[in-house]
Amino acid sequence: MSRTASVRVPASSANLGPGFDVLALALDLHLEVTAREAARTTIEWKGEGAGEVPGTRRNLLARAAQEPFNGWSRPLDGLELRVHNRVPIGRGLGSSAAAIVAGIILGGKLRGLRMSRQRVLELALPLEGHGDNLAAALYGGFCIATVENGGARVHRLDWPPRWRAVILVPAALSPTHEARRLVPRRPARQDAVFNLGRVAEWVLATLERDRSLLASAMDDRLHQPGRARAYPYLDDVIAAAEQAGALGAALSGAGGSVIAIADANLERVGRAMGTAARTHGLGHRLLMLSVAGRGALRR
């Protein structure tokens, strides 16, 4: 009988304002996958992305179960994957990181390998290209990801339990690659200094449970000004969230979702974000989520 494996991986919101490719938050919204080695690759996909993602070996889940193992572990003939996905795809909520983490964990388990989270992270980096969403997907909570010479380190901070995420998710797919091109390659010195101070405030706010720091901590001058050209509703939705009582708000990852952090009046914050989005003719939905305290779970 062939081996089977299952995994559950959370969504994530990266950057959180100033922490470009460094900060990420795991969200209580999951990708669940069960896998079995088979003669050929087949994928049964339910939930977000059904009918949109490829059902072949080109699927990111299938690729992640194969490519990182090339040259040092045996190939799998094929995979039978059963997927239940609740993570919106292509909206800046870490769907690719969740798929990559899930694929690598399943690929290792089907091969009988025992891999630490650090090893999964190292194998995942070449596929994802940055470590922030991967860190949150693997470790849960609020993560700081540092990358150096091809390696990665993760520092996980406990998240204040009363702080929750209100997320405006656009109906349309986000132009992620275009949004990354809008980030300046050489930011001005004063903008880099501004962001360094805000990242430090993020850490202080989390460690000291200081809600008063978040509005400032979620400010950004590095990537959001450029990306606002791709998402013209961004500034208005952020302002509406804060005026309605959010502790702070920012673009989620490369967008186009917007995340607000709130510890009260979540419905009011969501309504205000929705009203601002509608003035731009933006179709959307709202999610109110807790932070996922645990990362990828193998079953």
- Average pLDDT of the residues in 83-93: 97
Q: Domains of the chain: which residue ranges?
A: 4-158, 164-289
Other C-beta atoms lying within 10 Å of the C-beta of residue 57: 14
Tens of pLDDT, residue by residue over 187-221, are: 999 999 999 999 999 999 999 999 999 999 999 99
Q: Strand locations in 86-122, DSSP E?
A: none
Taking the CA atoms of residue 95, residue 98, residue 103 and residue 108 in that order, the dihedral angle to the nearest 10 degrees is: 170
Q: Tell whether the model's pLDDT for residue 240 goes beyond 70.
A: yes
The rounded distance, in Å, linking the Cα atoms of 293 and 6 is: 19
For residue 80, give the DSSP letter.
Answer: E
pTM comes to 0.96
* CATH architecture of the domain covering 164-289: 2-Layer Sandwich (3.30)
3 state SS of 167: strand
Tens of pLDDT, residue by residue over 137-189, are: 999 999 999 988 878 899 999 999 999 999 999 998 876 666 677 888 889 99
Amino acid at 206: T
The rounded distance, in Å, linking the Cα atoms of 251 and 256 is: 7
Residue 143, strand partner residues: 24, 156
3-state secondary structure 1-29: CCCEEEEEEEEEEEECCCEEEEEEEEEEE
Quote the pLDDT of residue 176.
Answer: 64
Q: What is the CATH number assigned to the segment(s) 4-158?
A: 3.30.230.10
Q: Tell whether the model's pLDDT for residue 5 goes beyond 60.
A: yes
